Structure 1
């Protein structure tokens, strides 16, 4: 009976983990696939500025994700980091919905996007660290 209840808990945790990962990935894919059209049509940025935006986004994303990963690996609360990253993604979406100034979008949008993009890689070690902190020999993901 205990084994059956443990399997049900593991299945619900696996399902929740996979749903959150899927929804986050889908949101990122939808946002970045339409971003160049948004910058060109609504912000009226020329192709050079769109390239600058994507370059700044890539460079800032690498730097900020490395910095956040370093702090996460040193023992910071990973769940709190994921929540902050998702909040940054929400703020980024609100910023893009309400603002049409390219330079504000470049500075704040790239910063928030870089923080938000760290959420997805932070999900991957979470099941193992949760299982280790609970001293369980299982993880949320099936082998």
Structure 2
């Protein structure tokens, strides 16, 4: 393991040789419950997986760019994801976040877009979706 608790392996070096330069990781979660408390309704309580840990792991593969995807455990509080995006900068980061469109202004959407947000994640629970079964 490295300084951030990221596992290393000889297989990673072999894999890194096969990854083209400029590759993006398109689905990375950043979780930092010590700095950004989880949503009270979180269905699970994961260990931390900080931006530093994500960058260390991807760095072993030669990947510097990532899309941070808002984990459901933060609900609509995008603070952790947006903090990670800010720290990555516009050349190396994009994000997919969660929000309630009824409570979100055009100005807020533009601000997020300017930061590098490029999508909205829909996280529906099984309980919410059960009403959509249509009797099947």
Query: Into which bin does the TM-score normalised by the smaller protein fall?
Result: under 0.3
Q: Which is richer in helix?
A: 1
TM-score (normalizing by structure 2): 0.25
TM-score (normalizing by structure 1): 0.24
Larger Rg: 1
Q: Which is richer in strand?
A: 2
